[in-house]
């Protein structure tokens, strides 16, 4: 994000919702759309060959970032489609005559919850809710018991998009493998921020979203472990070995590939700097705003996540007042605008005051120290004026 672009704009602190596209990513996409615009399935000429080569290169970058093989990757329109494909596709292909049981964390993204509920409504699956504590941490003993009781699919998000908790995916994958349970991990918030080892961690299906790692919107991937078969959601043309028909979104794929290549090189350093700014912001806010509570698991959360509650002050009152100066949110992008408290905060059992006063702040690699200080000033002055 250039400084020009930021001029006279609210300070962007909503990186969980979406990240700005890295200019280097946008440049690759622009070149792909203009100079090398071919269809990757056109096998009869140079334009098609060039597009296919670009896709083949991108798949290597994605696979390399997450420790998977390039053969395991299916391109999709984003994490929502990847999750739908994994859940519907797995249940359709792998159920016998008994009703399949799907275990999920109550803090999963709506893409997982609503997909499972759609199956449950059609009486095609039963949903089992796993237990979390008041910080949203998973109860591993309970998870193991549920796996041992016999389930068709386990869904655990790698990091939550509201409170930012990072879940112990390696450990959970081992449990899933021990009980031979297929395991879907929604890694949208984690890919490019925290190292992932798909091959080692016992994950069966991994969902990726381009726009959470400084890549474009409308592109993502589903990574599928060897030996697992899914029923496709989309038919026509037989692209991607029939798993997801439709002309490949070559510029999007190239953008996702480039974003992954850059994250592999820059992730560790960037995330360290982001965590420093987040910690600084947290300290300053605690100092400036009496009664402020930090939600979620502060021992294991995304570097850029700061989820706070200011009990007694509704988040809507704060957001309305800072709207022209700060881009922060009351919750997940898909749920904001809806007046009910988020399902994530309800799962934690927070008090109604804590839920009503909840604010999600998301810091990213383009956030400056100056913006952090400015945001703290704006927030504390606003809260002081309301009180
Ligand atoms: N899962 C999580 C944890 C998310 O944060 C998001 C994005 O909002 C999604 C899934 C959906 O991703 P997409 O926008 O690529 O469909």
Helices (H), ranges, the chain: 3-6, 23-34, 46-66, 79-94, 110-121, 140-148, 169-178, 250-288, 315-322, 343-348, 352-356, 369-386
**Residue 336 confidence (pLDDT) above 60:** no
Mean pLDDT of 325-349: 80
SS3 99: coil
Q: State pLDDT tens for residues 149-201.
A: 999 999 999 999 999 999 999 999 999 999 999 999 999 999 999 999 999 99
Q: Is 334 a catalytic residue?
A: yes
Q: What is the pLDDT of residue 4?
A: 59
Closest ligand 1 atom to the C-alpha of 211?
Answer: 15
CA distances from residue 267 to 31, 69, 188, 322 in whole angstroms, order as listed: 25, 20, 15, 31
Count of other CB atoms within 10 angstroms of residue 122: 8
For residue 290, the 8-state DSSP code is: T
Is residue 223 within 8 Å of residue 205, measured between CB atoms? Answer: yes
Distance linking the first and last C-alpha atoms of the chain: 35
**Residue 333 confidence (pLDDT) above 70:** no
Listed range (2-6, 44-48, 192-196) with the worst mean pLDDT = 2-6
Q: How far apart are CA 362 and CA 276, in angstroms?
A: 13
**CA dihedral (175, 181, 186, 192) positive or negative:** positive
Burial of residue 141, with CB atoms counted within 10 A of its CB: 0-12 exposed, 13-18 middle, 19 or more buried:
exposed
Average pLDDT across the chain, whole number: 95
CA geometry: angle at 297 spanning 295 and 302, to 5°? 100
Helices (H), ranges, 95-203: 110-121, 140-148, 169-178
Residues of the chain with CATH 3.90.1150.10: 3-21+267-386
Q: How far apart are CA 85 and CA 275, in angstroms?
A: 33
Residues of the chain with CATH 3.40.640.10: 23-262
Looking at ligand 1, which residue's alpha carbon is closest to its atom 16?
Answer: 80
Q: What is the pLDDT of residue 127?
A: 98
Mean pLDDT of 286-306: 97
Calculate how far, in angstroms, residue 97's C-alpha sits from the geometric centre of ligand 1.
32
Q: In the CATH scheme, what architecture does the domain 23-262 have? A: 3-Layer(aba) Sandwich (3.40)
CB-ligand 1 contact for 77 (6 Å cutoff): no
Calculate how far, in angstroms, residue 154's C-alpha sits from the geometric centre of ligand 1.
18
CB-ligand 1 contact for 175 (6 Å cutoff): no
CB-ligand 1 contact for 186 (6 Å cutoff): yes
Q: In the CATH scheme, what architecture does the domain 3-21+267-386 have? A: Alpha-Beta Complex (3.90)
Burial 239-276 (b: 16+ CB within 10 A, else e): bbeebbeeebbbbbbbbbbbbbbbbbeebeebbeebbe
Q: How far apart are CA 311 and CA 314, in angstroms?
A: 8
Q: State pLDDT tens for residues 297-317.
A: 999 999 999 999 998 999 999
* 136: confidence class by pLDDT, cuts 50, 70, 90: very high
Q: How far apart are CA 315 and CA 345, in angstroms?
A: 13
Burial 99-118 (b: 16+ CB within 10 A, else e): ebbbbbbbbbbbbbbebbee
């Amino acid at each position: 994000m250039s400084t020009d672009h930021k001029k006279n704009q609210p300070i962007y602190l909503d990186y969980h919702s979406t990240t700005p596209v890295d200019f280097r990513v946008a440049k690759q996409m622009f070149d792909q759309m203009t100079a090398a615009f071919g269809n990757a399935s056109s096998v009869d000429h140079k334009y098609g060959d060039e597009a296919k080569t670009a896709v083949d290169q991108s798949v290597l970058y994605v696979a390399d970032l997450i420790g998977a093989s390039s053969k395991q990757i299916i391109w999709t329109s984003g994490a929502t489609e990847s999750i739908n494909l994994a859940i519907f596709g797995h249940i359709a292909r792998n159920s016998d005559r008994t009703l399949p049981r799907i275990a999920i964390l109550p803090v999963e993204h709506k893409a997982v919850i609503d997909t499972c509920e759609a199956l449950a409504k059609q009486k095609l699956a039963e949903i089992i809710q796993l237990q979390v504590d008041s910080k949203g941490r998973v109860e591993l003993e309970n998870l193991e018991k549920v796996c041992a009781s016999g389930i068709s699919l386990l869904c655990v998000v790698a990091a939550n998009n509201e409170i930012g908790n990072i879940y112990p995916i390696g450990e959970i994958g081992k449990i899933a493998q021990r009980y031979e349970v297929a395991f879907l991990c929604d890694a949208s918030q984690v890919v490019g921020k925290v190292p992932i080892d798909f091959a080692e961690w016992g994950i069966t299906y991994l969902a990726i979203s381009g726009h959470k790692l400084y890549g474009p919107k409308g592109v993502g991937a589903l990574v599928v472990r060897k030996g697992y078969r899914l029923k496709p959601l989309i038919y026509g043309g037989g692209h991607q070995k029939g798993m997801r028909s439709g002309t490949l979104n070559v510029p999007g794929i190239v953008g996702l590939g480039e974003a992954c290549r850059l994250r592999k090189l820059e992730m560790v350093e960037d995330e360290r700097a982001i965590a420093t700014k987040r910690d600084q912001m947290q300290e300053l806010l605690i100092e400036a705003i009496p009664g402020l509570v930090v939600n979620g698991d502060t021992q294991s959360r995304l570097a850029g996540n700061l989820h706070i509650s200011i009990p007694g002050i509704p988040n809507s009152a704060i957001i309305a007042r800072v709207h022209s100066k700060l881009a922060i949110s009351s919750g997940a992008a898909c749920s904001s605008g809806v007046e009910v408290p988020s399902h994530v905060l309800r799962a934690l059992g927070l008090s109604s005051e804590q839920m009503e006063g909840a604010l999600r702040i998301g810091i990213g690699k383009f956030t400056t120290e100056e913006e952090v200080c400015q945001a703290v000033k704006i927030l504390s002055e606003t809260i002081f004026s309301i009180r």
